[in-house]
Amino acid sequence: MLVKPLRDGRHDLPKQYRQILTNAAGLTLYPIDETTCEHPAQLRAKYGWLRTPDALQVATALQHGAEIIVTNDEGWKRLTDIRAIILKDYIVA
């Protein structure tokens, strides 16, 4: 979530994103653990465009029963296993 804003020179956004994510009601952040490590390979096989770090995030979300995942990668809208919410769509500039 932070790479694109940083690449675009938007150094103000990472702080805003962290604040939204860590203070959002009904949102839980999970560490990536060893039980999650096999599922990303299955996701990468299904979605050839999905990179390993992203597959780890998606797998963690699915492992914990998430119905949506938050990202700034528009490509994630192609996921069929989980609904992707694009964070920048909710930021008021």
pLDDT level of residue 89 (50, 70, 90 thresholds) = confident
pLDDT tens sequence across 34-53:
878 889 999 999 999 999 99
Question: Average pLDDT in the 76-93 region?
Answer: 89
Q: Which two tokens stand for residue 18?
A: 């962290």
Q: Which two tokens stand for residue 26?
A: 């009904």
Enumerate the domain spans of the chain. Answer: 3-90
> Is 0.85 surpassed by the pTM of this model?
no
Query: Which CB contacts under 8 angstroms, 24+ apart, belong to 36-43?
Result: 36/60, 36/63, 39/63, 43/81
- Summary mean pLDDT of the chain: 89
Q: Which residue has the tokens 């009601």?
A: 25
